[in-house]
Structure 1
Amino acid sequence: MTITINKRLEAPVKIKRLHADAVIPKYARAFDAGFDLVAVEDVIIRPGETAKIPTGLAFALPEGYELQVRPRSGISAKSKLRISNAPGTVDAGYRGEICILMDNIRQVAGEDGQRCLDVNDKEVEAGCEVDRHAYLVRKGDRIAQGVLAVVPIAVFEEVDELDETERGTGGFGSSGVQ
């Protein structure tokens, strides 16, 4: 059996620059699912804090789609920075600026100085007094990725009983760990 795949599905997405330095997203490689979202200003994230990092962009997504905001694996592997609500959902009806909620999950604090860490966990000049375990997300850093996804609309039907399945009501951990 041969399966022929003609072409990637395309959807028109309108983008508005809200900041002169905003970077229009692009896919790094031909078969990538996600496109890069880039910080439009410097943001310091102290240990245990969450920061909202602006991208300087607003999107008009087609009806029936969402934009999923996901972590970049390199940042997650190299640092203690995490996307707070990953994957975050941007609804098709939203027209405001896309911002990335990022956590510094490092719990060590209290060592102030002029240096902190970058998104690659390398020590850098902060330009101000800051905890050395803080992260400096710099303007121009690729901080997250966006994935466009089709979203079916649920049609809810209230019933008195649900059909039986092998799993039944087995929830958290019901299939074991090995």
Structure 2
Amino acid sequence: MRDDVEVLLRRVDPEVPLPSYQHPGDAGCDLVTTRSAELAPGERTVLPTGIALALPDGYAAFVHPRSGLAARCGVSLVNAPGTVDAGYRGEIKVIVANLDPRESVRFERFDRIAQLVVQQVEKVRFQEVDRLPDSERAAGGFGSTGGHAAGRPAVPAASPEESASTQQTAAQQKHYVAVGADRASDLRGQ
């Protein structure tokens, strides 16, 4: 087991709780907002967390969405994961977006809005070459491994009524991902 990494923290808001891990073994600690906000469907805003960090050289912190907020409310982060560099000393702010097409979402002061993962990062030195070594994957990307309906053969033609219904369902599925949970599910640990 490795020793904990010491990270210096300054409270920009003196009342903000310190980031904390909810369970043993959690990778991310919770970040809260220090101000209330309401987001209509499709809106985004920048929420302050009330903390600033001094990370050790060779480390960065990454701001990730909370899966419970995503499943229950359709909330995500616009630039997920956000990167906090070791040299940054300003307040950490989180760009949240309401992706729900119908419902507004409200945040109150000290609501958990994101999670912070601190990781060791490598510095690299780029070496330009004329040709890269071969690999099994080569230049395959953007769905080259399959696994999604978009890469499957087309379904035989249907009646006009079935076709309209199928097109509407397909359009809905294109914009939504089933998460297997409804708003009443208990996802507090996520």
TM-score (norm. length: structure 1): 0.78
Extract unaligned runs of 5+ from structure 1.
1-6, 109-132
> What residue in structure 2 maps to residue 124 of structure 1?
none
> What residue in structure 2 maps to residue 74 of structure 1?
68
**Partners of 1:156 and 1:57 in 2: CA distance:** 34
**Higher strand share goes to which structure?**
1
> What residue in structure 1 maps to residue 37 of structure 2?
43
**Partners of 2:100 and 2:146 in 1: CA distance:** 31
Give a deviation string over 1:145-164, Cα, whole Å, max 9, x none.
Answer: 10101110111000111111
Runs of 4+ in 1 over 4 A off after TM superposition: none
**Higher helix share goes to which structure?**
2
Extract unaligned runs of 5+ from structure 2.
149-190
C-alpha deviation, 1:134, in angstroms = 2.0
Q: Which amino acid aligns with 2:132?
A: L
> What residue in structure 1 maps to residue 107 of structure 2?
137
Percent identical across equivalent pairs? 43
**Partners of 1:45 and 1:136 in 2: CA distance:** 6
- Contact 2:66–2:76 (CA under 8 A) maintained in structure 1: no
Identify the match of residue 57 of structure 1 among 51, 54, 70: 51
What SS does the corresponding residue of 1:74 show, helix, strand or coil? helix
2:35 matches 1:16 = no
2:84 matches 1:90 = yes
Q: Which amino acid aligns with 1:35?
A: C
Alignment coverage as a number of residue pairs: 148
- Contact 2:33–2:113 (CA under 8 A) maintained in structure 1: yes
CA RMSD of aligned residues (A): 1.3
What SS does the corresponding residue of 1:92 show, helix, strand or coil? coil
Which of these two proteins has the greater Rg computed from alpha carbons?
2
2:170 matches 1:176 = no
C-alpha deviation, 1:9, in angstroms = 4.1
Give a deviation string over 1:59-81, Cα, whole Å, max 9, x none.
Answer: 00111111010111111111121
Question: In terms of mean alpha carbon deviation, does 25-34 or 59-68 score higher?
Answer: 25-34
> What residue in structure 1 maps to residue 151 of structure 2?
none
Matches within 5 A, 1:152-163: 152-163=122-133
